[in-house]
Amino acid sequence: MDTDTHTVTVTVTGHGEATRAPEQCTVSLVVRIESGDGDRAVAAASAAVRALTDEVTARHDASTGPITRWALDQVRHTRHRPHNRDGNQLPYVHRAEAALEVTFEAPPGGSDDTAPAERIFDTGPLSDFVDTVAGIDGVEVGRFEWSLTAATLDDVTGRVRARAVEDAHAKARTYAETLGCRNIRATAVADPGLLGAEASTPPSGVALRAYAASAGGEPIALRPEDVTVTADVHARFEAW
């Protein structure tokens, strides 16, 4: 570039995103028992935990699933004294509870040399599990978190970041050509906020959406939504 050539600095943002079907679902469950007797609360909670873990271990296989990971907290015992409508303190209520997280994962797909093969998540085993454990006394089914496997997330994130840079480059070229400049050259690319300007968009991340389930006594019908991976960059170019 000729040092006498007038240059213009162009600073832009770039955005990229991709949507994939979820490959994993992590279910949060809680065993919670309340009783006027502490020993009874602990015993009932322990029995519920055993019944719950039996259902988990019967479905667990780290390689083939459907449950590939699970974690269980120890049973915790607390107590409190509630008040009635008149403000009088009532006898102690004992609570025993434990938390459990279970991850269902789609089986591996066929081989692909360029990207992780697509996995098809079958909600049948998950729905059957939730419907079964919801019938255990003291078990509460909490939130569902849909996600991608680590390998897929890494691959998709890399592609999305590349799209964000391409978007920034295309935007900068449009600005430069509008100003009558024929050439552009990148001088800096960074995550939002690292070029000294306020970020108008969030950094890259995964958006996880909640499940939808049927009501009533029918088996729970889960309808997972796709996982969206987004990336944003700030870029600076010289145009002449």
Mean of pLDDT over the chain: 87
| pLDDT tens track for 176-192 | 999 999 999 999 999 98
* pTM, to two decimals: 0.77
* pLDDT at position 113 over 80: no
Lowest mean pLDDT among 36-40, 57-61, 195-199, 211-215: 211-215
Give the chain as a DSSP string: --TTS--EEEEEEEEEEEEE---EEEEEEEEEEEESSHHHHHHHHHHHHHHHHHHHHTTB-TTT-SEEEEEEPPPEEEEE--B-TTSPBPPPEEEEEEEEEEEEEPPP----SSSPPP----HHHHHHHHHHHTTSTTEEEEEEEEE--HHHHHHHHHHHHHHHHHHHHHHHHHHHHHTT---EEEEEEESTTTTSS--SSPPSEEE--------SSSPP---PPPEEEEEEEEEEEEE-
Domains defined along the chain, listed by start:
8-20+153-239 (3.30.110.170), 24-147 (3.30.70.120)
